[in-house]
Amino acid sequence: MAKGRVPLLAREGWVHAAVTGGAAAGVHYFLGWVWALPIWLAFVFVLQFFRDPSRNIPAAPLGLVCPADGRVIAVGDVHDPYLDRPAKRVSIFMNVFNVHSNRSPTEGKIIERWYRHGRFLNASLDKASDENERNALWIQTDEGDDIIVVQVAGLLARRILCDVQPGERIAQGERYGFIRFGSRVDVYIPPSSQVRVTLGDKVKAGSDIIAFLIH
């Protein structure tokens, strides 16, 4: 079972919810609902942005589950810049209305973690994978497959959060991080993998299978 289970509202949003909710209630009490309405709307936005629903992880030992909610914006053969190898890449774009919790595509050991500072281009652009601020995890499965999953900051994102470190084990579908306010996640997988998604597909983290590892 995945560790680090959180309530329906992600812990990254607790402070934001408390501040906006408290401000809305205070203005409502002292000045009335008309003045408070914009702050109440901000409070509702915070609640929807930081929602973190539970997911039923499919039983698929060689399947790679989706690491993020959103829309598939890139699928294809690329060069993996982290392990210097040929690979297939699946990229998922998250807009501000998607759930922004990130989940591990596979079970395995975290071999390495890289955090690289960069720009804050629109995350839907292909060059965002190489130029934007990003956090990458190298996960090695028990079968020896190497999976790279990369959290990429976006135009509005200014904070990438990652709760795991090299040497730890991670479960398939386990929640491991969060990106605030619009972003993308790239997954680099072995070139022999069978990709199960196509451009434009809407996917859910932890629930949908994006590819199968082929042995």
Q: Are strands 146-153 and 183-189 parallel, antiparallel or unpaired?
A: antiparallel
Q: How far apart are CA 184 and CA 99, in angstroms?
A: 12
| 164 conformational bin, left if phi > 0, alpha if psi -120 to 50, beta if neither | beta
Per the residue annotation, which of 101, 129, 183, 193 is the catalytic one?
Answer: 183
Which DSSP string corresponds to 4-32? Answer: S---SB-GGGHHHHHHHHHHHHHHHHHH-
Residue 207 among the catalytic residues = no
Q: How far apart are CA 173 and CA 212, in angstroms?
A: 15
Q: Which residues are catalytic?
A: 183
